[in-house]
A and B are shown apart, each in its own frame.
Chain A
Amino acid sequence: MTSLALDSAATASAVERAVAGDELAFARIVGAYHLDLVRVAFVICGDEGLAEDAAQAAWWIAWRKLSSLRDPDRLKAWLVAVAANEARKLVQREHRQAVVELKIAPQPSTGADSSREIDHVDLANALGHLKPEDRVLVALRYGANLDSFELAPALGISPSGVRTRLSRLLDRLRKELGDD
């Protein structure tokens, strides 16, 4: 599917109408953000099927709780956080961290300093060694580009706490990926 971006006004309108029960408005939100949700979930699960499940589960929650979203501009951050939490739950429920088969093709070189690029197989392995909660942080920070102020409410910690946790995580990934 192709994501159909929504601008700020369209997002606010779609959220308002979806809260009121407009199914097509909700579909528009789904169309705009579903791929973001799947990709964030994939970083956490490492499995496309589980990622799709997590994203779809997140939409059920979104439908129920959309009325609790006070600032429509935070819609994407809220949605990807919900999807990340669903992905984390699925990983724990399936007990599958150790059995996820890596189906990653060698990544094509971009031609620019390819020796410094992080290989996707290495990345997948490094993610697999992280706790699901830390994978959530990686996914939301680098997969969804949320900053510490957006991450803080999603993780239930302060922005400075996010930065501290992220710093430790980066140190660990540096070692995992042989960058130290």
Chain B
Amino acid sequence: MTERDAFEIRLAAAVHGYAERVRSDLDPVELAHRIAAAEPRRPGLWGAFGWRPAAIPRVAWALLLLAALLVALAGTALVASRMLEIVPRIPPLGAALVPTGIEVLTPETGGYAMVVADDDGILWAREPSGRLARFDPASGSARAWTIRDDAGFGVTTSSGFDIVPAGEGGVWLVGQRTLRWFDGTDFRAVIDAPTDIGLAVEAPDGSLWVTTEPCCFGTDGAVLHWDGSSWTSLAISGSSANATVGALAVDAAGRPWIGWVRDPDPASPGSTYSGSVWRWEGSSWTTFDGDDAAALGGGVFTITQLRDGAVWVASAAGLARFDGSSWIDTGGPWSTWGASVADGPDGTVWVAVGDSGDGAVTVAHFDGQSWVSYGPSDGLPGPNASGYAVAHAVPTNDGVYVGTGVGIYRLADGRWERAWPTDSSPLIDIGDVLAVSRDELLAIDREGGLWHLQGSAWTREFLDPGHPDGAVSALTLAPDGTVWAAGANGVGYRRDRHWTLAAAGAASAITVGRNGTVWVGGGDDCRVWTLRLEGTTWVSSPIAACPPESFGLSALAVDASGALWAGTAAGCAWGMSACSSGGLARLDGGTWEAIRQIGGFDLTAAMIVGTTPTGDVWVLDEPGAAPGAAGEPAPIRAARFDGTDWTVVELPNDAVSGSALAPDGSLWASAWWVPGSTGGDRGPARHDGTAWTFPYHGAGLPWMRLAAIAPDGAVFGEIASSVFRFPDQTPAP
């Protein structure tokens, strides 16, 4: 390998160029923190082990030593045999991770990579971004959890977990080395595997079977069985080079079946993936291949036993059925990868195929006599509609569903229609969030679009339906619970699900005083005015121009004395002597007083957080420290003005991504620390009047922006296009 010919040099250059266009915005500090927090080093010798040898009972150690002795004596003969061998006993985790209860309130827009149904008929989907979604066909309700970002799930990557139906409801989340039985609320079992897991399935008796990934290039995998207390393994070594297990199932008799996928033979042009099916008979494998049924000769990705006892195998070469004594090739259009087979409550068979070529989905129904096929012309996703070649048929008592890469579809009156996600959902980044209650919030997207969430249903709303393009800039919750909004088309309020425009004219900031007066600011000429209801008419009264040398208004607040506070926006405008970096001003006797210093420190980039129920005003000053900036930033301070004095508190971290006031008037902030600094804790932090606490320490998502707190105390976070709701109670660290 010391000399390269011209082709090899050009190949190396091309590979380099091909790979170098890939970028990553990963925060290494964040990832390192996540990993280290999830898997802290254990002190002492055993800390180097991925599992806990100290937890292994002496009996198991004796068995291990005996097994090692047998291996030494028997040499390769043992490896090549098909006997049952004992592997180290790995007990369920003593201190199981618990899900934090953080809910994802925004539906995934990128589709699903896997869909299964549990025994209760609940559909579970794995989303490409690392979420787990649960859809109840009976009620149409859905819920999603963040998996990759939630340390409580202990799953490392978005693609790195499978979902497998659990016999008593819920699903097994199959991570790299751990299986977690998740019922939608808690983990009911957490089981470590002794090696990396490939496929997993729960047997009718509740035990688990898994295939293992080849460990380290060239090492064969195995089939492992967890009987509830220990793992045993079936050696499958020597089966074939360049082959992997593509399917795993357990029949009603408890026998595991595996389907093989063998790589094409590079020496044979036109060679394709081949396969075979093995069934464990208790002491040896029975093998079936292309001589038994043509479909068994292709790479096998699906083995399913239906309720009538028939075993169906889907492969790259077709679909075959085993009635217990012989195989039958069923033919049909589904000779491709990614098929699923399921039987409905009426015993008929449904097959779904995610086409591996163009993303189109085909579903076929077999009533025992003939097949009926459905495709894009029947409402299923068409070519190029789905980035993921996934299609899982899920017949339930509430109809037939198929999970596809672009959502869950339901068959209704002969046509397929998408049941989830619904079409209405925020599709672009979320800006401001106003929480009305635990179950209701409003959000403004980056384009100024207004969205309303009630329960799990998002609805696009318009402040001025006559001008749907008018962007909304600000939201506020009045003391009487009415939501007000200001935007390009004016100012309005929401009542009984409808918006009413109270005043025309562009505005960028709005607040409602404790006496019900609506304060509005902004517009092309930047001014401040009030709105007051006289009879049935809202009357506008000019108050003042905006603070001098301000680019515009970002926020308004009214303190206990009735004085108006304005947060001015950063920016430049024609006629300004200098660009504004944003600031704080108080309207006192018709004249604006610029607030440049609080409690002895200079304000550099002050912003209004809000007003407490008692009329105290909170402001926050973050002097130029943005997450990711290099160097040690200046301290971030917050200050509370009670009408007379300022109380200054220093934030515990280097940067703040969001802030909000709780119903009790306490300040919350989502805190960061800049990579490279000494740092501190991260995540939503609460100042209780004397010190900062991190109520959700250990909950994961430390980089989540605190978005809003509802009057009932519900805390909401946000990342890009996702809104999250934190659990009521503080989760366990």
Contacts and interface: CB of A to CB of B under 8 A. Distances in A.
Given A1-B28, A131-B242, A26 B35 contact: yes
Contact of B20 (A39, A48, A89, A141): A39
A85 B217 contact: yes
B478 to A, nearest CB: 44
B26 A34 contact: yes
B14 A117 contact: yes
Interface of B: 1, 6-8, 10-29, 31-33, 35-36, 39-41, 48, 50, 113, 128, 156-160, 162, 176, 196, 198, 213, 216-219, 242, 244, 246, 263-264, 266, 301, 337-338, 356-357, 359, 387-389, 675
A171 to B, nearest CB: 10
A40 interface: yes
Given A85-B217, A107-B17, A174-B7, 9 more contacts: A43-B15, A43-B19, A55-B24, A64-B39, A96-B389, A118-B13, A120-B18, A155-B218, A170-B8
A157 B219 CA distance: 11
A26 B35 CA distance: 10
A71 B48 CA distance: 17
Contact of B158 (A53, A55, A89, A95): A53
Given A93-B159, A156-B217, A60 B22 contact: no
Given A39-B22, A117-B13, A166-B1, A98 B217 contact: no
B11 A142 contact: yes
A138 B15 contact: yes
Contact of B216 (A59, A98, A156): A156
28 contacts: A1-B28, A23-B36, A27-B28, A27-B31, A31-B28, A38-B22, A42-B18, A51-B22, A52-B26, A54-B157, A55-B24, A59-B31, A59-B32, A60-B35, A60-B156, A95-B246, A96-B389, A98-B389, A99-B387, A99-B388, A123-B14, A131-B242, A131-B264, A143-B15, A143-B16, A156-B217, A170-B8, A172-B266
A101 B387 contact: yes
A34 B28 contact: yes
Contact of B32 (A24, A101, A116, A131): A24
A12 interface: no
Nearest to A27: B32
Contacts of B25: 1
Interface in A3-40: 20-21, 23-24, 26-28, 30-31, 34-35, 38-40
A177 B8 CA distance: 12
Contacts of B242: 131, 133
Nearest to A98: B356
A124 B32 contact: no
A89 B213 contact: yes
Contacts of B356: 95, 98-99
A35 B35 CA distance: 18
A139 interface: yes
Given A21-B40, A90-B159, A172-B266, A35 B213 contact: no
Contact of B337 (A95, A134, A163): A95
Contact of A120 (B14, B36, B359): B14
A64 to B, nearest CB: 5
Contact of B675 (A27, A54, A95, A162): A27
Contact of A118 (B11, B40, B176): B11
A76 B359 CA distance: 37
By Cβ-Cβ distance, the 5 closest A-B pairs, closest first, are A21-B41, A27-B32, A118-B14, A39-B19, A30-B28
B33 A53 contact: no
Nearest to A118: B14
A77 interface: no
Contacts of A93: 159, 162, 198
Chain A interface bracket (under 10, 10 to 19, 20 to 34, 35 or more): 35 or more
Contact of A23 (B17, B32, B48, B158): B32
Contacts of A118: 10-11, 13-14
Nearest to A149: B1
Nearest to A119: B14
Given A24-B29, A95-B337, A60 B113 contact: no
A119 B15 CA distance: 10
B216 A85 contact: yes
Contacts of A157: 218
Contacts of A94: 113, 159
B630 to A, nearest CB: 11
A49 B23 CA distance: 11
Interface string A160-180: 001100101010111001010
Contacts of A20: 41
B55 to A, nearest CB: 17
A98 B272 CA distance: 12
A2 B263 CA distance: 37
Interface in A72-118: 85, 89-90, 92-96, 98-99, 101, 104, 107, 116-118
Contacts of B387: 99, 101
Contacts of B338: 95
A64 B50 contact: yes
A130 to B, nearest CB: 9
B160 A57 contact: yes
Contacts of B16: 142-143
B225 to A, nearest CB: 21
A81 to B, nearest CB: 8
B11 A170 contact: yes
A155 B14 CA distance: 23
